[in-house]
């Protein structure tokens, strides 16, 4: 829920700031700024909630904590890429692939009741997916809109 709030709030603020500066709306730029801010926000979670996020990764995958750190850095790089005109297209499509690859971790976490913030197994469970899967679809659509060439 927090990433959605960050995304929508960032979008709302950036659209009006850009209007003030450029004297016109630039929805595509506002969308990229909002997605970049949201990615930076979620990347922070990879460094703050490393233990809990590593619990979201299936047991057969080794080096879980390193993987969590790596995906946090990856989110920061994508966030930057969305703001660099020549990298927008590749960053947007990379983000779409990344979001699709992360969905199984969210499903695994919900099935196993992972609470990534506490690092415990008392999370929301399958009810979480009723929110997370539509949210993931929204993020993928948003990333696609960000990837459109300018």
pLDDT band, residue 5 (cuts 50/70/90): very high
Summarize pLDDT for 122-142 with one digit per residue, the tens: 988 888 888 888 999 999 999
Tokens 């047991």 belong to residue: 59
Q: Where are the domains of the chain?
A: 2-147
Residue 140 three-state SS: helix
Can you give the pTM of this predicted structure? 0.91
From residue 24, alpha-carbon distances to 17, 18, 20, 29, 150 in Å are: 10, 7, 8, 12, 16
Q: How confident is the model at residue 47 (pLDDT cuts 50, 70, 90)?
A: very high
Residue 39 contacts residue 78 (beta carbons within 8 Å): yes
């Amino acid at each position: 829920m927090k990433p959605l709030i960050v995304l929508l709030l960032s979008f709302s603020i950036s659209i009006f700031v850009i209007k003030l500066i450029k004297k016109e709306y630039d929805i595509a730029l506002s969308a990229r700024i909002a997605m970049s801010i949201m990615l930076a926000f979620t990347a922070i979670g990879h460094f703050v909630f490393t233990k809990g996020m590593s619990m979201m990764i299936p047991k057969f995958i080794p080096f879980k904590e390193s993987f969590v750190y790596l995906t946090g850095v990856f989110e920061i790089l994508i966030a930057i890429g969305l703001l660099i005109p020549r990298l927008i297209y590749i960053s947007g499509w990379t983000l779409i692939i990344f979001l699709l690859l992360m969905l199984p971790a969210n499903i695994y976490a919900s099935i196993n009741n992972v609470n990534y913030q506490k690092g415990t197994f008392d999370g929301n469970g399958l009810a979480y997916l009723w929110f997370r899967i539509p949210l993931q679809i929204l993020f993928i659509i948003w990333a696609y809109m960000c990837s459109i060439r300018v």
